[in-house]
Amino acid sequence: MAAALDLLPSLAGTLEAGASLADFIWFRTGGAAEWLARPRDEADLADFLAALPAGMPVLPIGVGSNLIVRDGGVSGVTIRLPKAMAAIEIEGDTIRAGAAALGITVANAARDAGLAGLEFLRGIPGTIGGAVRMNAGAYGRDMADLLVEARVVRRSGAVETLPAAALGFSYRHSALPAGDVVVSAVLRGTPGDRATISTEMERIAAEREASQPLRSRTGGSTFKNPPGHKAWELVDRAGCRGLHLGGAQVSEKHTNFLINTGSATAADIEALGEEVRARVLAQSGVLLEWEIERVGVPA
């Protein structure tokens, strides 16, 4: 049950009760946010979080490209940053990107500036804020390789600039506490040839198009690659290619992707993922770890 509006602090941006998250997350299913806050800027966000009751949960969401929102919705306040917090500035070999900027947009800006090393962001479908939080990566690189520092609004409302070493990066993970919101990041590239950078980005785009179900309602890579293994190969060997549960399906094109075929609930998708994990464990002895973040409560 949503808290009364008069119990929440004021926000210069917008604050919506019972807001649909399925309208924009990639799976296009799942429950609503108890409150969806869209702050106007960093100061607005900091003031709002500082005044928010300490026990109220806070969940930042970008474009929901690697997210299952359970059917019962998300309690507390969900934060979605505005396009105004997607600005990109380049100085020398560094790029300062707002957390709402998409990975592909940052990759394009780096290419245009003749900065190499960020090409893999062409294959990261989410925002820079989400990429920092989960140490997103692809094609042999991840955010830990290029992050200089991140600016973060703490759940308390305090604003801090953290060096990369303070984020506790590991494979697809950072040590940022729940409720902290990344608002910008400074990334470092290396001078390179624009044509060469462009060619590499085109290669990544073509490889993704050929191997991943990009035109389906999906959530990106479902499971982390276990040490010494590729998740998709384990799923395939366990006989899960094309496996259905309700309206959810394991992709025929890439077995580490789950798909909403049109009528899937979030429960269908999560249950299918758990069935895949069980079959892989039985077949190979490897317990797959979720890479997709699962939030909210069941219906």
- How many residues are given for the chain? 299
Q: Does 113 share its domain with 189?
A: yes
Domain boundary among 190, 210, 230: 210
Domain boundary among 66, 83, 100: 83
CATH number assigned to the domain comprising residue 23: 3.30.43.10
Catalytic, 233? Answer no
Q: Does 189 share its domain with 271?
A: no
Catalytic, 42? Answer no
CATH number assigned to the domain comprising residue 128: 3.30.465.10
Domain boundary among 59, 83, 107: 83
Give pLDDT, residue 7: 76
Whether this prediction's pTM lies above 0.75 is answered by yes
Catalytic, 80? Answer no
Q: Does 147 share its domain with 101?
A: yes
Nearest to 191 by CA among 125, 253, 110: 110
Across 114-203, the runs of DSSP E, i.e. the strands, are: 115-116, 137-138, 141-142, 147-153, 159-163, 181-188, 190-191
Q: Does 137 share its domain with 185?
A: yes
Q: Does 95 share its domain with 206?
A: yes
Which residues constitute the domain of residue 199? 84-210
Give pLDDT, residue 4: 59
Q: Does 185 share its domain with 101?
A: yes
Give pLDDT, residue 9: 94
Helix (H, G, I), strand (E, B) or coil at 258: strand
Q: How many domains does the chain have?
A: 3
Q: Does 247 share its domain with 198?
A: no
Give the Cα separation of 5 and 170 in Å (integer).
39
Residuewise pLDDT in 10s, the chain (299 residues): 455 566 799 999 999 999 999 999 999 999 999 999 999 999 999 999 999 999 999 999 999 999 999 999 999 999 999 999 999 999 999 999 999 999 999 999 999 999 999 999 999 889 999 999 999 998 889 999 999 999 999 999 999 999 999 999 999 999 999 999 999 999 999 999 999 999 999 999 999 999 999 889 999 899 999 999 999 999 999 999 999 999 999 999 999 999 999 999 999 999 999 999 999 999 999 999 999 999 999 99
Q: 67 with 33: CB under 8 angstroms?
A: no
Give pLDDT, residue 5: 66
Give pLDDT, residue 1: 40
Selecting among 65, 184, 221, 251, the annotated active-site residue is 221
Selecting among 122, 133, 155, 172, the annotated active-site residue is 172
